[in-house]
Structure 1
Amino acid sequence: MKALEIHQLNTYYDKSHILKGVDLEVGEGELVTLLGRNGAGKSTTLRSIMGLTPAHSGSVKIFGTDSTHLAPFRIARLGVGLVPEGRRVFANLTVEENLKVPVDRPGPWNIPRIYELFPRLAERKLHKGKELSGGEQEMLSIARVLLLNPKLLMLDEPSQGLAPIIVQNVFNVIVAARNEGTSVLLIEQNVRAAIEIADRAYVLERGAITYTGVAAEFGQDEARVQELAGASAQKWEFPDD
């Protein structure tokens, strides 16, 4: 069974045709990255999967269940966790209080495990969300979703605006989630970092999929990576600890 299957997905904003026949799938326990320039339709893809921007046509299946027309809360109940762009934490709650918001679900992720993976959050657990740096807020945003123990984890640009050492921490946690058996769909503009950890890659251009394949093989197509990555085209190496 596939964690996620999207077939011929078409999505509109008013009269603007954003997603144009998108086909995409994520296997159970697989880490897949969806790459593309700004405006390609990556975030719209996530919003359509979650039912936040309903598809005009096509289908979405999550662990075999047709979720195309389900409400977002019902899609979440299928085991989907979304880390949205923008680090949406509760500004007036402490780190510890933020981490206690999610409903307890059985699985490998709990608050002590989160503090092991994100020692900085443990250090800052009595600080309010608004007092955290951008990187710390991103860590907290990911941690809250992990505490739901999702079967399918989706992340929208988790490295945006972060220093390389923080990106390393964030991506290490994404890999840890995959290693626990969680299926992952990662939307990312840091092409080099994404293909370093992903099993497979898709490229979205102007609402249509233009590449599907093994992430490492895509990484060897230097011209394609340069074209897609733009300013981030330099070779990515995770910083030393």
Structure 2
Amino acid sequence: MSALEVEGLHTYYGKSHILHGVSLELREGEIVTLLGRNGAGKTTTLRSLVGLTRAREGAVRIFGQATTDWPPFRIARLGLGYVPEGRRIFPNLTVDENLRVPIERPGPWDIPRIYQLFPRLAQRKTNKGRQLSGGEQEMLAIARALLLNPKILVLDEPSQGLAPLIVQEVFRVVKSMRQEGISVLLVEQNVRAAVEIADRAYVLDDGKVVFSGPAAEFAKDEQRVRALAGASAEEWAPPAGRA
């Protein structure tokens, strides 16, 4: 069953036509990655499907419900958690206070379980958001989204600006969402990391989908990785024992 369907989205910023008929699907319990160069339209796609930037044409359906014109809070109530680019945590609140901001929804995720998933946050729960490293801030942003007990988790560039070891830790957590039954839509510049954990991949170029298919198939095409994703071809190796 489809958790999320996006069909023929056309989105504009003023007179600038950004998305040109973008379509994609996220099935239940699946990780899908959306790849592309800077400016290809990845973040605009996410903003359009979560209700932050309304599409002029096309349709978005979440668990079969048409949500194209819904405001973000209604979309969130369907069980969609969104972690935007830049993390957007509260810098003057402690880690523990940041985690108490989301409105509680019934489900398995609560603050004690978050601290089990992210021991680093447990160690720093009295530190203010501004005192955290970039990796810790990303963990906190993901943790806040999980406290909504989402059925769909949408992540925009979770590895941006992070050291390689921290990237591996963040992607370990993202991969574990599949076992939790959470469907994940991942926008990512680190192509090697993304295709390692994703079931399927879409590539955007100039606001159009230019590839869709199994992530493993895309990963094998080195020329396409370089030309379409605009990403480095550096090797990606998941942590030992965490395949």
TM-score category by the smaller chain? over 0.9
Q: Which amino acid aligns with 2:12?
A: Y
When the two chains are superposed, the root-mean-square deviation of aligned CA atoms in Å is 1.2
Counterpart secondary structure, 1:116: helix
Please list, as runs of the form range in 1=range in 2, the aligned pairs for 1:101-112 lying within 5 A after superposition: 101-112=101-112
Structure 1 pair 230–204 and aligned structure 2 pair: CA distance change class (3 A): closer
Check the 8 A contact 2:80/2:150 in 1, yes or no.
Answer: yes
Q: Structure 2 matches for 1:173-192, cutoff 5 A?
A: 173-192=173-192
- Determine the structure 2 residue equivalent to 1:205: 205
**Is residue 108–residue 180 contact of structure 1 (8 Å, CA) maintained in 2?**
no
Aligned partner letter, 1:91? P
- Correspondence for 1:2: 2
Tell me the secondary structure at the aligned position of residue 114 of structure 2.
Answer: helix
CA shift for structure 1 position 238: 2.3
The equivalent of 1:129 in structure 2 is: 129
Superposed structure 1 runs of 4+ greater than 3 Å apart: 228-231
> Which digits, 9 at most, give the CA deviation of each residue in 1:149-197, with x for residues without a partner?
1111000000000011111111111111121101110000000000000
**Aligned-pair distance for 1:227?**
2.2
The answer for the alignment partner of 1:147 in structure 2 is 147
What amino acid is aligned across from residue 117 of structure 1 in structure 2?
A: L
Gaps (5+ residues) in structure 2? none
Question: What's the counterpart of residue 91 of structure 1?
Answer: 91
Q: TM-score, normalised by structure 1?
A: 0.97
Judging changes above 3 Å, is the alpha-carbon distance between structure 1 residues 187 and 231 closer, same or farther for their aligned structure 2 residues?
closer
Residue 224 (structure 2) pairs with residue 224 (structure 1): yes
Aligned to 2:37, the other structure's residue is in SS state coil
Offset, 1:229: 4.7
Confirm or deny: 8 A CA contact 1:203 1:211 kept in the other structure: yes
Structure 1: where are the runs of 5+ without partners?
none
**Conservation of the 8 A alpha-carbon contact between 2:189 and 2:231:** no
Give me the whole-angstrom Cα distance separating, in 1, the residues matched to 2:135 and 2:51. Answer: 28
C-alpha distance in structure 1 between counterparts of 2:20 and 2:96, whole Å: 42
Alignment correspondent of 2:27: 27
Aligned twin of 1:74: 74
1:196 maps to 2:192: no
Residue in 1 aligned with 2:42? 42
- Secondary structure of 1:130's match? helix
Please give the per-residue CA displacement for 1:24-57, whole angstroms capped at 9, x wherever unaligned. Answer: 0000111000000000000000000011110010
Q: Deviations over 1:118-144 (max 9, x none)?
A: 111011001011111111111101100
Distance 1:132 1:33 in 2: 27
Q: Deviations over 1:63-107 (max 9, x none)?
A: 100000111111111111100000111111110111111112122
* Identity among equivalent pairs (%): 69
Q: Give the 3-state SS of the residue equivalent to 1:232 in structure 2.
A: coil
Q: State how far apart, in whole Å, the 2-side matches of 1:230 and 1:32 are.
A: 18
Q: Structure 1 pair 23/230, CA: closer, same or farther in 2 (3 Å)?
A: closer
